[in-house]
Structure 1
Amino acid sequence: MKMEQWMKQDEAFEGWDFSYITETGRMKSDGLSWSYGSLVLPLMREASAMLDMGTGGGEFLSMLKPFPPRICATEGYSPNVPVAKARLEPLGVDVRTYDSDDDLPFDGGEFDLIINQHESFSAREVRRVIRTGGTFFTQQVGGCDCFELNDAFAVPLNPEFARWNLEQAVNDLESNGFRVIWKREETAGQRFYDIGALHYYLKAIPWQVPGFTVEGFQDKLEEIHRTIEKDGYFHASQHRFVIKAEAI
């Protein structure tokens, strides 16, 4: 199929749901040695008040049941907010917007569990809203994530974000009133099996290749399309790390 035909098959992206390309086998990711969801569920059973930071469209949180007696979620990306509210509020989740990692819309010490999947955070502000003895559990996207895409488009990684890794996150948390209990960092493969899937992905995460447009990167897209036709896929490396920390 020609590249232009793949592009025309795109659907609108809503919330934080990549099933349009993952469940059809057009993009696949290798597994990590841990399961974020399986590690979160036991923590939820022990919690009385929980916050999910950066819930997206609420897709993931809506599947984590039963909920603690009090449960809140934040989302800072305005198009996701009505999606999250429509999905989560009928389940009893208090969904709130926020504008800055340094100013969460909660009083001090409101939560004994805060989870965070791929959302930026201020360690100082997380410590403010979590109770002493509470647990902060986060899985983060590392700064070298999918660097092969940046190489292919000749766009460098953001130098500030490129330094974001397990060591820096641990240092931030330990400097702001946390004790790290468990941590791990890995890379895992991610494959795009057609150029349309890659286009869909880049539209959803515009920060990966800033300024991305089909017109502006036509030549690079053609090169990647030829690679996929020759090799069967385009390979990129996911950079992930996970931390469980206790507020002290």
Structure 2
Amino acid sequence: MNLFDQLLEDSNKAFKGWDFSFIEDTGRVQSELLPWSYGSKARKYLFGAKSMLDMGTGGGEFLSKLLPLPDYTLATESYLPNVPVARMRLAPLGVEVVQIKEDDQLPFMDESFEVILNKHESYDVSEVRRVLKQNAIFLTQQVGGTDCVELNQLLGASLNPMYQKWNLQTAAEELEGQFNVLESREAFPSMRFYDIGAVLYYLKAIPWQVPHFSVDAYREAIYELHLFIEKNGFLDVRQHRFLLAARPK
């Protein structure tokens, strides 16, 4: 087996929860720092709160590191394979993980939470407003619609039309009718891949980046990208992130 074929095997590695340690802890992919810290913002808004909801908790990795949590803390997750992972991690912390199907149908009473956190998860503005208490906080960090578009271009893959116009301005305008925006930031940090195996592992974990992605369908373009990385040492692509903190009107 040559190096290229060995790296192709990385696309078959199991991915659980929201854990990229297979390529991050070995330094095979590195991301430029954002000009803000979502975790620090979360700690700021959680201070003194007695109730919170973490939307789209993944495998509970981030939430489990925010200790101490409010006495009443719940989490939602819509991706079925993540649910048992999150429950195993969060149950010992007293956090119930609720599986949901649609973000516009949250199974909670009106005005249930003082803080809602949402990292890289879809949401419905009216439903978020419904379950938030007055004077509460909605904090979200989102992946923008131009995230890593260079990967699509290099592979000759179409962009996902669902996300192309998703940016800070669009999200802020959607909130305006029911929220006052307290903070808003947007950034385009670099993400660097050091081998094609790391690229493939990433694309498998983020299936919406290249819809219907498979190694066989893009093998020729993947090989060309492998040669590019071997020659230049790395591949840089541009991420797209934005953050909003808002309070109900």
TM-score scaled by structure 1? 0.97
Please state if 1:75 is matched with 2:77. yes
Q: For residues 1-248 of structure 1, what are the structure 2 equivalents within 5 Å?
A: 2-9=3-10, 11-175=13-177, 177-248=178-249
SS in 1 for 2:163: helix
Give the CA deviation at 1:125: 0.7
Q: Percent identity?
A: 51
- Runs of 4 or more consecutive aligned structure 1 residues displaced over 4 Å after TM superposition: none
Give the CA deviation at 1:36: 0.5
User: For the Cα contact (< 8 Å) 2:160–2:210, is it kept in 1?
Assistant: no
Give the CA deviation at 1:23: 0.8
After superposition, what is the alpha-carbon deviation per residue over 1:78-135, rounded to whole angstroms, capped at 9, x for unaligned?
A: 0000000000011110110111111011111100100000001111110011011100
Task: Give the counterpart letter for 1:150 in structure 2.
Answer: N
Task: Give the counterpart letter for 1:61 in structure 2.
Answer: L
Task: Give the counterpart letter for 1:145 in structure 2.
Answer: D
SS in 2 for 1:170: helix
SS in 1 for 2:171: helix
Please give the alpha-carbon distance, in whole angstroms, between the structure 1 residues aligned to 2:91 and 2:37.
26
Task: Give the counterpart letter for 2:240 in structure 1.
Answer: H
SS in 2 for 1:46: coil
Give the CA deviation at 1:178: 0.5
User: For the Cα contact (< 8 Å) 2:160–2:211, is it kept in 1?
Assistant: no
After superposition, what is the alpha-carbon deviation per residue over 1:10-45, rounded to whole angstroms, capped at 9, x for unaligned?
A: 531111000110010001000010010011112112
Please give the alpha-carbon distance, in whole angstroms, between the structure 2 residues aligned to 1:156 and 1:169.
24
Give the CA RMSD over aligned residues: 1.0
TM-score scaled by structure 2? 0.97
Which segments of 5 or more consecutive residues in structure 2 lack a partner in the other structure? none
Please give the alpha-carbon distance, in whole angstroms, between the structure 1 residues aligned to 2:46 and 2:149.
34
Please give the alpha-carbon distance, in whole angstroms, between the structure 2 residues aligned to 1:8 and 1:163.
34
User: For the Cα contact (< 8 Å) 2:190–2:239, is it kept in 1?
Assistant: yes
Please give the alpha-carbon distance, in whole angstroms, between the structure 2 residues aligned to 1:241 and 1:206.
21
Give the CA deviation at 1:200: 0.7
**How many pairs align?**
247
After superposition, what is the alpha-carbon deviation per residue over 1:33-88, rounded to whole angstroms, capped at 9, x for unaligned?
A: 00100111121122111000000000111011110111000000000000000000
